[in-house]
Amino acid sequence: MKEIIGFDLDGVICPDVEWDGDISDEGIARLHKLRDQIYPIFYPNGDFILITGRPTDDEIVTRKWLNKHQIGPLKVHHYEKEKDTWNTDKVIYHKARWISHYSCQDEKYRMTCFVESDWLQVQELKKIINIPVYHFATELNLYYEEIKK
């Protein structure tokens, strides 16, 4: 069985982007354009799986960005609900479900830890999963915001 690390995407691999929360087609197009323009802040070394809070609707855009920056996770798991039902509790449950799967149920991979940028999600995940969850400090995200000005 191959040991792997799990990562969140936004805030860990790439900077979080400011978005107004507009879920109209135009708002989502603006979000996708913003995400397409960012650069990675971290390149994982070795085998890893991404478990992101991005909805499945963003899968094509996400994979295009990952390919563009030559970031090759073994798998990518998106949040499986519509954009208008997104909330932090549901995303935590989504991540916990996949982390639990890879930490104790998968026959091919065994996740040894998960890296997350959202402090609230780190604290909640630590309560419900059986592997270490590490907080990725987002000072680099703050740096990214400064250089955009």
The pTM assigned to this predicted structure is 0.86
3-state secondary structure of 78: strand
pLDDT in tens, the chain (149 residues): 999 999 999 999 998 887 777 878 888 888 888 888 899 998 998 999 999 998 888 899 999 999 999 999 999 999 986 555 667 788 899 999 999 999 999 999 999 999 999 889 999 999 999 999 999 876 655 554 454 44
Domain span at residue 96 reads 2-148
Question: Are the CB atoms for 51 and 99 separated by under 8 Å?
Answer: yes
CATH number of the domain that residue 67 is part of: 3.40.50.1000
Distance CA 93, CA 68 (A): 29
Number of domains forming the structure of the chain: 1
Q: Residue 129 in contact with residue 100, Cβ under 8 Å?
A: yes
Please tell me the total number of residues recorded for the chain in this structure: 149
What are 72's two structure tokens?
Answer: 């090759």
